[in-house]
Amino acid sequence: MSNHWTEAAELDARGDAFIVVTMVGCRGHVPQDLGAKCIVTSAGLHSGTVGGGKVEARAIEEAKAILASGETEPKLVTWNLTKDIGMTCGGEATFLFETHHRKKWSIAVFGAGHVGQALVRTLLNLDCQVTCLDFRQDWLARLPQSPKLNAVLAEKPEDVVENLSPNTFFVVMTRGHASDVPILEQIFKRYPDAPYIGVMGSDVKAQKIRNDLASRGISKELIERLHSPIGLDLGGNDPYEISISVAAELLKTRDKR
């Protein structure tokens, strides 16, 4: 049972949808004990068992169909093992299907430098999924290990913007202006309706970035949505103080949606 909860927690931390199937009732001969559980994802059986054979195959099929339908309410199903499943047991089993599908809050942090390191560590304490991208393997290696973190080595981070989701909160804090602008250009062109696009820098840098984006064909309306300087107006220049101000702004933006 402890392994069951560990598996469920890991899937939940990654934001993967899954169904817990539990045998909650039985009559006559059944192939598992009352309370038996298994976890099913869209790929099929993930862990555990509710009896194996035909009845488990039917439970897996039912769970995958529920996931595909988008239903979220618990579902109770009773099968006669002979009539409904085609088994010779002659018993009856009742299964509870509980859907776990937490909406992911996806955040992409471009840059694994000092502030990026602090921001990732701050965000991992929140209910979110973080992708950190950088071209420096040594800096990516300094990031903590977490099922909520995906560290991506990219020689040109702007080239992998297309692999991210339109609902991503984009935070750009690379080594400087020259590497920030191509990333921001791709974000605005691919995901103009992204909920948050921000870049770290001073007022002077922020204005230069806005001018450069305009020269690259990004509309004035989109540029006005750029958060820069990034974060709420609090704290000093310590990486963790900056990270707290940025995380606070991300939360504020998320909660307004």
What is the CATH class of 106-256?
Answer: alpha beta
Task: Flag whether pLDDT at 232 surpasses 70.
Answer: yes
**Please, which pLDDT band fits residue 14 given cuts at 50, 70 and 90?**
confident
**Please, which pLDDT band fits residue 95 given cuts at 50, 70 and 90?**
very high
Contact 36, 23 (CB under 8 A): yes
Burial class (CB in 10 A: 0-12, 13-18, 19+), 51: buried
Task: Flag whether pLDDT at 97 surpasses 80.
Answer: yes
Task: Flag whether pLDDT at 190 surpasses 90.
Answer: yes
Mean per-residue pLDDT for 23-48?
91
State what percent of residues in the chain have pLDDT above 70. Answer: 99
> For 127-178, how does the pLDDT look when each residue is reduced to its tens digit (9 = 90+)?
899 999 999 999 999 999 998 999 999 999 999 999 999 999 999 999 888 9
Task: Flag whether pLDDT at 1 surpasses 70.
Answer: no
pLDDT at residue 2 in the model: 61
pLDDT at residue 167 in the model: 92
> For 197-229, how does the pLDDT look when each residue is reduced to its tens digit (9 = 90+)?
999 999 999 999 999 999 999 999 999 999 999
Task: Flag whether pLDDT at 13 surpasses 90.
Answer: no
pLDDT at residue 53 in the model: 86
Q: How far, in Å, CA of 220 to CA of 9, rounded? A: 44
Rg (CA), the chain: 24
Domain ranges of the chain: 2-100, 106-256
pLDDT at residue 77 in the model: 95
Task: Flag whether pLDDT at 246 surpasses 90.
Answer: yes
Task: Flag whether pLDDT at 31 surpasses 90.
Answer: no
pTM, 2 dp = 0.68
